[in-house]
Structure 1
Amino acid sequence: MALNHTAPPPDERRPPYLRDGDPFASKLSWEADLVAGFYLTIIGILSTFGNGYVLYMSSRRKKKLRPAEIMTVNLAICDLGISVVGKPFTIISCFCHRWVFGWIGCRWYGWAGFFFGCGSLITMTAVSLDRYLKICYLSYGIWLKRKHAYICLAVIWAYAAFWTTMPLVGLGDYAPEPFGTSCTLDWWLAQASVGGQIFILNILFFCLVLPTAVIVFSYVKIIAKVKSSSKEVAHFDSRIHSSHVLEVKLTKVAMLICAGFLIAWIPYAVVSVWSAFGRPDSIPIQLSVVPTLLAKSAAMYNPIIYQVIDYKFACCQTGGLKATKKKSLEDFRLHTVTTVRKSSAVLEIHQELCVQLKGAFGYCTGERWIISSPLCQLLCIHTFKIISLSFLFKPQLCYSSAFFQ
């Protein structure tokens, strides 16, 4: 049965802090609300400008965006939606020392925050899978095109809309947070009925546990792949050790992405789970506001992690290619083979050229660049660029853009 959107839920489905007194009155002091209001204002401004800048820069090269960059644009849209649609409600309520938008506004705010937050998390999951496939399974990385990215976007928004709309049609609800100036999913439903427990468990698994597991798995595998490739590179030429700094940078980015998500959302998830299945009254209201404020900051630093650092790497990659181009060509020796089907000969020549060109090598069959040797795949991924050599048709050197992105 659908819920009445102009009235609070029945008393038996309401937590104790909503049964007694005004549920929209702030349970914090005036000073605490002012601090929270100023904090959210700063976060909102930085997030709006940061994500707006990402969208502006992306719009200038929208026809050249790669699949991973399209996902990054979607992440910026989600974070911008949280900042523009959601944060003003909480900021105004903090400065008014109470939630001033009633039950309709509470459900709208809860839906918008959950919708864009879920979309942001699933987008990060898609980005991690894209990076994982491109590094650990090269053939799949080559196969992924822009059209697949747009299909993925449709799935992301449909996924978020499905889970966030369920509380509006009677499966769950949105309610004020314990401190009174914000709204979220009504986690107390798990304490009220078996149906509420099933709903909350599904939300936790499909909108938190599963995406988190995919993100962690993807970046752990990426780190392991890069580390194993660095050992193989070092076995062939000591000069390849100079590119070890790129491995360290990749590791740092992966750890920042995982740590940023965990730091922002896990404390909030822990408090929410405790409210659903533990003893919610044992959590001080003044303490419950901290995880909420921390989670709301994710929209600010996501564009920094996904965009600014990625652009920095792209600049470093371009600079490194120009710096090593002359020296690499001085040591270059052209090799040819009669056919690419002689796997042993191709592997031997690939190994030599990969070492001489600092791990960047490919060959051309018609119009498609291929890296057949697993060793060369690791080397090229390790250096994040390809110096492509066409020795089957036109003996010449040509340079491609950064392979990793």
Structure 2
Amino acid sequence: MVIVLQQSYNISTGHSSVSDPGALPRAVHTVAAVFLGVILVLGFLGNFLVLMVFSRFPGLVTPVNLLLINISASDMLVCIFGTPLSFAASVRGRWLTGSSGCRWYGFSNAFFGIVSLVSLSLMSFERYCVLLHSSPSDSSQYRRARLAVAASWFYSLVWTLPPLLGWSSYGLEGPGTTCSVQWHQRSSTARSYISCLFIFCLLLPLLLMIFCYGKILLAVRSVERQVSRINRPSAERREGRVLLMVVSMVTGYILCWMPYGVVAMLASFGRPGGVSPAATLIPSLLAKTSTVINPVIYMLLNNQFSRCLLYMIRCRSEAPPPPVHRILPRSPTDQQNTVAAMFTSTDEQEQRPGVQCAS
């Protein structure tokens, strides 16, 4: 999913040229296949559990969690439609499904991947709006969240259709076992598309996340300072949990996607042949790990979600209550409770009967 370099491939057969000096050794393909196999299994199971928990406990579906569901759904679709093809190609050491399969793989991975990226950014904006700005009612928050979900799919479609219509194209990349936008093309139209994709689908979502979570952290610190005089240890723990969640979100985004974007820009605008196939393979694999990391960062670090998952596994008759999704009140104590509900769903919240487990 990164860069096509100075290599000669027959896409109809999937065989690379024998004289290709950039071809990867068989052992590297084997390692990549093992890595992709692990990503496929863990990514599918993790996102499947996330979607199952939300379907099992509808009370968990808050406006913010609607975007989390959207992220898991898009990651699940990557695991179903994309990763198996690259896994099979790595096992055989060549692309197996021809030019049509290559275009489908490139389009679907880019489409579902951008949905996930945009949803992460919109989720930070939703939290920022709820925490720092008033809203007329909870119904308006749900309506805004649904519009955000729809916008993420439309926005992604706008940026992934052009290569199918002539603005750049999808083709084999790197070692010839994955497909993506053909970053090696150095025409003005291809470079303009790559630049727009990097700015509008990678850099701007990251900047929005940093801005929103930065504002939230400042607000949280201000609130905790006011209430810490009463219960300082509890306030510090709460602030630490929020900080851990925010740092994990931003760091996961940067580690999974920024290497891919940087290498793609270097391959497109740097000197020809300056990026080796091995150097393109690593960022591509890192990008795919987002399907595994997202369920951990955005779900399993949430106490409320974890408790519901354990209740479901143990088939208990009661479940924790859904997190309280409220507008930011004016008193410091209420602000503290709102922060806890949005980010950590703390254990101090009172439990109430949930949905009966199926036998």
What TM-score range do you get, normalising by the shorter chain?
0.7 to 0.9
Which residue identity lines up with residue 156 of structure 1 in the other structure? S
The corresponding residue for 1:393 is none
> CA RMSD for the aligned pairs?
2.7
Quote the Cα distance in structure 2 between the aligned partners of 1:21 and 1:166: 23
The corresponding residue for 2:43 is 47
Q: How many residues align?
A: 319
Which residue identity lines up with residue 261 of structure 2 in the other structure? A
User: Aligned to 1:57, what secondary structure does the other structure show?
Assistant: helix
**In the alignment, which of 284, 298, 320 is matched to residue 292 of structure 1?**
284
Matched, 1:17 2:13: no
The corresponding residue for 2:175 is 179
The corresponding residue for 1:251 is 243
User: Aligned to 1:155, what secondary structure does the other structure show?
Assistant: helix
Displacement after TM superposition at 1:377 (Å) = 4.8
Displacement after TM superposition at 1:90 (Å) = 0.5
**In the alignment, which of 23, 26, 37 is matched to residue 33 of structure 2?**
37
**In the alignment, which of 151, 156, 160 is matched to residue 152 of structure 2?**
156
Matched, 1:123 2:119: yes
Q: Is the 8 A contact 1:243 1:383 kept in 2?
A: no
Quote the Cα distance in structure 1 between the aligned partners of 2:253 and 2:51: 21
Displacement after TM superposition at 1:270 (Å) = 0.7
Deviates more, 1:32-41 or 1:60-69: 60-69
Residues 3-402 of structure 1: matches in 2 within 5 Å? Answer: 17-18=6-7, 20=8, 22=10, 24-25=14-15, 27-62=23-58, 65-139=61-135, 144-189=140-185, 191-192=186-187, 194-234=188-228, 237-312=229-304, 373=330, 375-382=332-339, 384=341
Which residue identity lines up with residue 195 of structure 2 in the other structure? L
Displacement after TM superposition at 1:378 (Å) = 3.5
Displacement after TM superposition at 1:372 (Å) = 5.4
User: Aligned to 1:176, what secondary structure does the other structure show?
Assistant: strand
**Cα offsets for 1:287-322 (capped at 9, x unmatched):** 221111111111011011111112358859xxxxxx
User: Aligned to 1:17, what secondary structure does the other structure show?
Assistant: coil
Displacement after TM superposition at 1:95 (Å) = 0.9
Gaps of 5+ in 2: 17-22, 309-325, 343-348, 353-359
Q: Is the 8 A contact 2:40 2:83 kept in 1?
A: yes
**Percent identity of equivalent pairs:** 28
Q: Is the 8 A contact 1:256 1:305 kept in 2?
A: yes
**Cα offsets for 1:102-142 (capped at 9, x unmatched):** 11111100001000000000111111111112222244785
Displacement after TM superposition at 1:212 (Å) = 0.9
Quote the Cα distance in structure 2 between the aligned partners of 1:127 and 1:273: 27
Displacement after TM superposition at 1:275 (Å) = 1.1
> Residues 284 and 161 (structure 1 numbering): CA distance in 2 closer, same or farther, change over 3 Å?
same
> Residues 140 and 293 (structure 1 numbering): CA distance in 2 closer, same or farther, change over 3 Å?
farther
Quote the Cα distance in structure 2 between the aligned partners of 1:133 and 1:207: 21
Q: Is the 8 A contact 2:159 2:197 kept in 1?
A: yes
Quote the Cα distance in structure 2 between the aligned partners of 1:372 and 1:123: 26
> Residues 88 and 294 (structure 1 numbering): CA distance in 2 closer, same or farther, change over 3 Å?
same
Quote the Cα distance in structure 1 between the aligned partners of 2:101 and 2:307: 45
Quote the Cα distance in structure 2 between the aligned partners of 1:162 and 1:313: 33
Displacement after TM superposition at 1:162 (Å) = 1.4
Q: TM-score normalised to the size of structure 1?
A: 0.72
Displacement after TM superposition at 1:400 (Å) = 7.9
> Residues 251 and 99 (structure 1 numbering): CA distance in 2 closer, same or farther, change over 3 Å?
same
